[in-house]
Structure formats: C-alpha cells, structure tokens
C-alpha cells in the first residue's frame, strides 16, 4: 500500500472504529430487546427492533444537509476531532443506560449514535481527496468502503456476543469506551487541511431541515453527472439494504438454517462487497471507467434472478421441523449455489459503488464536496426507507421470497437501462481499454 499516506490511514481507522462502535451498540441493543421481550411506547419487542433501525437512520434524513454545510464551512479535521470527543460522551451515556437498564435512554443513545454518523459521513468522504491524489481515489475509496463493511460485520457479531450474558454487560461497556477512544486517538493524528475554512458569507449554516435539504438537492442536480452518480449510489443502498434484510429470512425460512447459517450468509455477502473493489482496482489500475457502472449493475440482475430460482426450487423440498447447523446446511442441495450467488451479488455491488464515489470526489468542487456527500446521504436514506416500505408491503401480502427477489431483479434491470442510457457515450472508452 505504498500509494496511501499516513494521514489516510489515520482517517481509515477513525471511520473504522466509528462504524464498529455504532454497530456494536445497535446490535447489542437489538439482542437485549429481543431476548428480554422489552415493550415500550405500546410496541412489542419485534416492533421495537424494527423501530431501532428507524431511530438510527432518522438523523441522516433531517440533519444531513446541515452536516454538509458545517463540513464545508469549517476546517474538517477540527470537526472530526470534536465529533469523536462527543462520541465518548455518547458512550458514557450508553453505560449509564446499560447500568440502569433504562431502554428509553438506550433508544435515545441509539439516536445519538446515528447523529454522530450523520455529521461524520460528509467529513469522511470529503477528506479522502485531501489524503490521496486523483490517481489513487479508487484505491482509497476501496479501502474505506471495505473497512466500513468489515466494521459493520464485526460490530454486528461483537455486539451480539457482548449482549449474550445480559446479567453481566461490563464487556459491552468496556468495548464501547475502548472503540470510541481508539477512534479519537486516530482522529488526533489527522493533520489539519490548510485554507479550508470558508467565510460565513460564502456558506450559510441553515438549521431549517426543509430549506437546507432543498438547497443541497439543488446543488446535487446542478451538475448532471453528479446527479447521475448519486442516483446510482442511492440505488446501491436500495438494493443493499433490501438484500441484507432478506438474508436472515432466506436462512431461516427457506434453508431452515440456525443463526450461524444466517451469519455465514452475512459473512459471504460482506466478504464479496469488500473484495470486489480491490479486484476492480487491480484490473483497471485505479482508473474509473464509467461504463463499468451500468454493466456491473446489469450483471447483478443475473444473480438476483438466480437467487429467485434457487429459492423457488428449495421451497418445494420437504423439510422436517429440525433446524440445520452449518455442516448440515452444506449437505442440502443448492446450499453452495446460494452462497456463490450472494458472493457474486456483493462482489458486483462493490464494483458498482466504489468507482462512483471516486468519480464523485474527482469531479466535485472541494468547496461543495461535503454538501454533495450530505445530499447523497439524504437520498440514500430515502432509498433505504423506500425498500423497507416495499418489503413490508410484500411481506404483509405473504409474497414468497422467490417472487420478492424476482421483483427486485426486475426493478434492477430498469435502473440498469436508465444508467446505460446516461453512460452510453462512455462505452467506446471502455472497449478501447
């Protein structure tokens, strides 16, 4: 990794420990609510688990625009250090909530973790070009993206394990403080970016959700290519959030697998997402070929439809009431094929998303990049909520998982055609390569 400088690695570990901490706490809270049968606000434990996802993502929708304005207005590394110090305070509040078993307070802490990520996101992606030259943007974004997915996977597993013994949560309390401290230590190694603080008259901080969001969305679509890239990134989150929410159902309802089988599927998916950008970077030598964006998305449709076919075939088999372990799962027909499908889907997802982030950073003005990333976060949030609502409706209508994957594959083909049309002039460059 000789192409990557020390400051970049400080940024990498700052974001890694932040994402890790978010997911440790979120998954530990979900496990506690699930196994303690917690009821709050008139919601049962299952509804509360669904509510947790909404509470965490809520700040992204309402405060991303303001977060982007602040990131473009002030010196970015100073903002990062302030946010990481606040994360330690959030963790202390989490420890108080865990000690008191106060679930109202713990849900508020979950909101604060989402708030922390909302304000850190625009800073993270807008700092990458400052610590990497334009020729290395694909590699830099590959590392950040892969690190984020590894942090999510590790945080999900660690959070679940730390909350297993709910009579003794000292391990969870210790880990929250440890990861926040390590994140702050990494942030303190970031060197300030000179001449990046902008006068107030140039960038106005608007705390009004409606007007600030409207202004940032106008900024996004001022440049047609920026708008297309963000539409593509938002579609990635539409697909990714939908597929990740379906994995446990595929494991439990179709293959009759236990929790370890569901974790295996999640691991395979995360591994594919992490390795895809690395392979792409090696093949293209760090260059961005826009034509690969719609091509990789179209290829994903093939594997989505194959998942649909596999689920239809497996659902026709007769299983007893037993729950299968990982070793028993591998003895089932189509078990290896479904894992290959999930790996290839995630691999292509990484190929699809990382070049778009790199290109977005390359063509955007440094004075606007944080706000553009914030606008991207708003649309990403809208996409995640949209797929959650769509899947809720489909589940309520008792639509089979096979048909649900088929519907997602059909929608993906439509989006692929939209992107192919918008990138049609890029294909000649790709074929020459």
Q: Domain residue spans in the chain? A: 1-207, 211-433
The structure tokens listed for 59 are 């700040």
What is the fold of 211-433? Growth Hormone; Chain: A; (1.20.1250)
211-433: same fold as 1-207?
Answer: yes
**Structure pTM?**
0.78
Res 200: pLDDT:
47
Cβ atoms of 20 and 151 within 8 Å: the answer is: yes
What is the C-alpha to C-alpha distance for residues 60 and 165, in angstroms, rounded to an integer? 32
**What angle (nearest 5°) sits at the alpha carbon of residue 146, between those of residues 19 and 375?**
65
Res 360: pLDDT:
83
Q: Is CATH 1.20.1250.20 the right assignment for the domain spanning 1-207? A: yes
Which residue from 135, 112, 27 is spatially nearest to 63, judged by alpha carbons? 112
- Mean pLDDT split into 10-residue runs, the chain, 433 residues: 70 93 89 76 70 81 81 85 95 94 92 92 83 76 82 83 77 94 94 62 64 80 88 91 82 82 83 84 78 91 95 80 82 92 93 85 74 84 85 82 94 94 73 56
SS3 track for the chain: CCCCCHHHHHHHHHHHHHHHHHHHHHHHHHHHHHHHCCCECCECHHHHHHHHHHHHHHHHHHHHHHHHHHHHHCCHHHHHHHHHHHHHHHHHHHHHHHHHCCHHHHHHHHHHHHHHHHHHHHHHHHHHHHCCCHHHHHHHHHHHHHHHHHHHHHHHHHHHHHCCCCCCCHHHHHHHHHHHHHHHHHHCCCCCCCCCCCCCCCCCCCCCHHHHHHHHHHHHCCCHHHHHHHHHHHHHHHHHHHHHHHHHHHHHHHCCECHHHHHHHHHHHHHHHHHHHHHHHHHHCCCCCCCHHHHHHHHHHHHHHHHHHHHHHHHCCCCCCCCECHHHHCCCCCHHHHHHHHHHHHHHHHHHHHHHHHHHHHHCCCCCHHHHHHHHHHHHHHHHHHHHHHHHHHHHCCCCHHHHHHHHHHHHHHHHHHHHHHCHHHHHHHHHC
What is the C-alpha to C-alpha distance for residues 362 and 371, in angstroms, rounded to an integer? 15
**What angle (nearest 5°) sits at the alpha carbon of residue 256, between those of residues 252 and 260?**
65
Residue 168: other Cβ atoms inside 10 A:
9
Query: For residues 264, 146, 118 and 63, what is the CA-based torsion angle, rounded to 10 degrees?
Result: -100
Res 194: pLDDT:
65
The structure tokens listed for 295 are 């091509």
Res 218: pLDDT:
85
């Amino acid at each position: 990794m000789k192409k990557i400088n020390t400051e970049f690695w400080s940024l990498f570990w700052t974001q890694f420990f932040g994402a890790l901490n978010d997911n440790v706490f979120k998954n530990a809270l979900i496990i506690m609510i699930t196994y303690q049968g917690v009821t709050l606000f008139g919601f049962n434990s299952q509804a509360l688990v669904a509510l947790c996802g909404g509470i965490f993502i809520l700040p992204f929708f309402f405060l991303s625009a303001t977060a982007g304005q602040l990131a473009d207005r002030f010196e970015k590394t100073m903002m990062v250090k302030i946010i990481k110090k606040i994360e330690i305070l959030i963790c202390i509040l989490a420890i108080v909530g865990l000690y008191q078993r106060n679930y109202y307070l713990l849900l508020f802490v979950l909101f604060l973790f989402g708030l922390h990520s909302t304000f850190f996101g625009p800073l993270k992606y807008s700092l990458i070009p400052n610590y990497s030259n334009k020729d290395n943007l694909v590699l830099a974004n590959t590392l950040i993206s892969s690190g984020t997915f590894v942090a999510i996977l590790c945080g999900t597993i660690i959070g679940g394990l730390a909350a297993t013994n709910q009579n003794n949560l000292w391990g969870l309390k210790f880990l929250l403080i440890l990861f926040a401290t390590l994140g702050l230590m990494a942030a303190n190694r970031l060197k300030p970016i000179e001449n990046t603080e902008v006068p107030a008259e140039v960038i106005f901080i608007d705390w009004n959700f409606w007007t600030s969001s409207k202004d940032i969305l106008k900024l996004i679509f001022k440049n047609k290519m920026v708008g297309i890239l963000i539409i593509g990134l938002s579609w990635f989150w539409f697909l990714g959030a939908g597929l990740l929410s379906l994995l446990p159902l595929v494991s439990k309802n179709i293959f009759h697998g236990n929790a370890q089988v569901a974790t295996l599927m999640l691991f395979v998916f995360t591994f594919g997402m992490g390795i895809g950008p690395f392979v792409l970077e090696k093949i293209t030598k760090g260059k961005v070929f826009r034509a690969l964006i719609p091509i990789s998305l179209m290829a994903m449709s093939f594997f989505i439809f194959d998942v649909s076919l596999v689920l239809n075939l497996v659902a026709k088999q007769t299983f007893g009431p037993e729950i299968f372990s990982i070793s028993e799962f591998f003895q089932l027909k189509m078990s290896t094929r479904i894992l290959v499908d999930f790996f290839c889907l995630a691999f292509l997802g990484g190929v699809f998303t990382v070049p778009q982030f790199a290109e977005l950073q390359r063509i955007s003005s440094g004075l606007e990049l944080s706000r553009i990333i914030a606008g991207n976060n708003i649309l990403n949030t809208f996409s995640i909520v949209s797929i959650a609502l769509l899947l809720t409706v489909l589940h309520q209508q008792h639509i089979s998982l096979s048909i649900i994957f088929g519907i997602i594959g059909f929608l993906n083909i439509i989006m692929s055609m939209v992107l192919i049309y918008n990138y049609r002039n890029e294909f000649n460059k790709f074929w020459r390569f």
